[in-house]
Structures are given as C-alpha cells and as structure tokens.
Structure 1
Amino acid sequence: MLGRGENVWSPEMASELGTQEIGGLIVADLGTRAEPPLPGMATILLDHHVPTGILQAALLVSGHGLHPTPTTSLLAWWCAGAVAEVDDLLWLAALGIIGDMEEA
C-alpha cells in the first residue's frame, strides 16, 4: 500500500514488492509509464490521467479520451462488473468519484 507522495515506480517500492509472494500487480490512479513497476510481473494499470507512457507488457484500462472522463474508481467498478454482479458496490464507485473529482 502506497502513502501520499510515494511512487510505485521507485526503487524502494520495487525492492519491497520483490520481497512479497504475489502473482501480479494492479496499479490504480498513479498514472502510466513505459517502464514496468516490477519487471517480469503481470501488471494491470487502471487510470484516468493523460498517459505519460504505455507499458507494452501490461494491461491498460484507461478513461483518458472518454467524455466525460471516468475516474479510476468508476473504471474499477466497470471492470468488476465484467466478471461479477456489483450493483451493491455502486456506492463505492460514487465515493471514489467524489473523492477524486471534488475540489480541495
């Protein structure tokens, strides 16, 4: 779990992730880059920001270019709905939309 200001592409995070027994990464709402967060690890990127690079070895689910631009929480809800019934979780997507798009 990242804290505010931390970056999944940092050497420190790669080192931490390298010590975990994980089958893959889901990176949400942290932007995109051409290099992988952890080389050789299956990776899914969920993001609504303007892409700054596209990782060829990852699955990118992007809301960039859609009008209106969906937040990452809404993209995640759509993805979950593709494999399971998620109507009871719509409130979670709505909360993410408010948290991501509300002015500070």
Structure 2
Amino acid sequence: MSNMISLLRKQVQENGKAEIDIDMFNQLQNEWITRCDIDCLPFVYKNIKTNEERKILLTAAEIRPFVEDELYERLTACDCTSIGETNVIECNCEDKFEDFELQLN
C-alpha cells in the first residue's frame, strides 16, 4: 500500500487536481489517523453496502463532557452493605469522594 498523501500531492502537482475513489478515500483517512497524536481516538461509521467509511478523531478532552457522569458513577461506586438484619446502610462514600476530581492522563 503506497502513501496516499504523497500520491495525491504528486497528482495535484502534475495535473493540477487529484481524483480519488472510495477505497482511496478510506486509505487516506487511515493515514491521517495513523499520523494523529496518540492521544486521539478514532471513531468509525462504515456503510456495510458501499464500504464508505466516515472517521473522526477525538481527544480525551473532547470526549469527556459526554462520559463524565458515567465515569463518576463507575469510579465512585459504593459497595457498602447493610449492617445485620436492619437493611440500614451506614455509608459515607459521598464524603469520601467529595475531593476527588477526574484526571485526564
């Protein structure tokens, strides 16, 4: 598989334009994803009939607002159990996690 970016650059230099088919388009997107910083995550939608792919790259900071509540719930899950047969749960988990903050590493 050749370097699609270089191939297209050469076509534009020689012909003033470059035309690509769907397979070349998908290869080009893959090359851009490969060149992206490691902090980026690729997300892909693929048409199963035509094989057309739509890809985007998102950083953790871009994804965070959409998953922050879910992460909080999972990371601060309470595993306190009731005491004896009373079904009363003495728990201070909310206080325990009050000073915690989500970190993006």
Assess same fold via TM > 0.5: no
Q: State the TM-score, normalizing by the size of structure 1.
A: 0.23
